[in-house]
Amino acid sequence: MSATVPPPSPPLLADPRIFRFSYHRLSRLVFALAGLAWSRSSVLLHADRIEVRFGWGFVASFPRAEVRTAAHRTERVFECGVHGFAQRWVVNGSHRGLVRIVFASSQPGRVGLVPVRVRVLTLSLEEPDAFLAALAASPR
């Protein structure tokens, strides 16, 4: 009698997908001087979580399973940087490529050294369509 061996699980993503923030030309310079440089800012999409880093200004790691919805944001955003109120945060370097992520429950994040809660997060991305497609795809 032979033992039944379960089939191997599909591999998890070995490396995260990296998505860069979009920046206006002027904001790229201003944010670089403020320590929020393009080179220190990205969204990493792992098999099980989403990591967001906007320099030292915003840092968070969210479980992918907590994402309720994600879509293009159609409302205009007039500010650039890190700003929010009542668990709704916008992290952007430009007004282009805006994506809104709504979480099933509030998630922890950090603005500078201050802990915050995030329920709705808007990001400005260079490749918003690719990010939304990758997020919607099964992580396995």
Q: Residue 59: its pLDDT value, please?
A: 96
Among 78, 103, 93, which residue's Cα sits nearest to residue 123?
A: 93
In the chain, where the domains are located: 17-136
Q: Residue 99: its pLDDT value, please?
A: 97
> How would you write the pLDDT of the chain (140 residues) with one tens digit per residue?
455 555 544 444 457 999 999 988 877 777 777 777 777 899 999 999 999 999 899 999 999 999 999 999 888 888 888 999 999 999 998 999 999 999 999 999 999 999 999 999 999 999 999 999 999 986 65
The end-to-end CA distance of the chain, in Å, is: 33
Distance CA 54, CA 82 (A): 8
Total-model pTM: 0.84
Residue 121: CA count within 13 A, CB half-sphere: 32
